[in-house]
Amino acid sequence: MTRMALPLLLLAGVLVSASPSPAAADQVVQARQLYNQALYELAIKAATQAREQGVAPDDALLVIARAHLERFRQTRDAVNLTAARDALRAVDAACLTPVAQAEFTLALGQWLFLDDRFIAAAELFDGVVDRVDALGPSARDRVLDWWATSVDRQAQTDADHRRELYQRIIERMEAELRVNPGSTSAGYWLAAAARSAGDTDRAWHAAVAGYLRARLAADRGKTLRGDLDQLVTTAIIPERARHQTGRGTDVKPAVDAMTTEWEQIKALWE
């Protein structure tokens, strides 16, 4: 089970690597603001105008590429995926600041993911996760989500390496929770990967622990608790019940008992 949608990675403030005029620089800032407001067509237009004026062309290209990637996610129109690739190919990465280079790498990973090249995408996300803090307070957590989702998508189509791939997610999220117990992505993916690997007992206990630990998250657990509740009720409980009762046995009593226990936990810790 994957999360319903990958969260947007909001662009940081202007990453201008040249020295444009104030008015021209404002145009790049405006393009990023439009992107952050999910006004992708307008962001593309503003960034294109800035680039045509020679204003921080590589930063403008990053906005154009990221906006086209989001447009592809919305429309699934391959024209946007091609336009994003063309913009990324035109970027002179050597002219980017370190922060912009991290954003550039992230965009490359997103392009690979949206082109169904999941393990290659995961490699890029893995390499950039420790360098994205400047892109916003939640950037690391969001990149971890992209990484785990990439590995999960590959596992769904690779039966020979399925358990190995989910073990990668489990180990990565265990390590993240040791240093960042408020991680929403790690709290979700530890339970989700254990369930997908067939360890429904581990998935159950990880979900219970994650539900309590969620109070450490930036939003005090609102997102994680909702995601875990859906995962537990639609996947972990019915699968764990089948594992516990065996074939040919009515699973309803086990499902009812676990559902009651889950509701009690939620009520105690709301």
User: What confidence score (pLDDT) does residue 133 get?
Assistant: 82
Helices (H), 53-161: 57-75, 78-90, 98-114, 118-128, 139-157
- 83-90-122 Cα angle (round to 5): 70
Per-residue pLDDT reduced to its tens digit, 84-94:
999 999 999 99
Mean pLDDT of 180-192: 97
Q: Which residues contact 8 (CB under 8 A, 6 or more apart)?
A: 38, 70, 142
The pLDDT mean for the chain works out to: 90
User: What confidence score (pLDDT) does residue 190 get?
Assistant: 98
Domain boundaries, the chain: 16-114, 156-270
Instruction: Give the three-class secondary structure for 197.
Output: coil
246 pLDDT band (50/70/90 cuts)? confident
4 pLDDT band (50/70/90 cuts)? very low
Per-residue pLDDT reduced to its tens digit, 57-116:
898 999 999 999 999 999 999 999 999 999 999 999 998 888 889 999 999 999 999 999
Give whichever of 93-102, 215-224, 226-235 has the largest mean pLDDT. Answer: 226-235
* Nearest residue to 153 (alpha-carbon basis) of 177, 121, 124: 121
User: What confidence score (pLDDT) does residue 8 get?
Assistant: 52
Per-residue pLDDT reduced to its tens digit, 8-66:
555 554 444 444 454 556 788 899 899 988 999 999 999 999 888 877 889 899 999 99
Is residue 177 within 8 Å of residue 183, measured between CB atoms? yes
Task: Quote the percentage of the chain above a pLDDT of 90.
Answer: 74
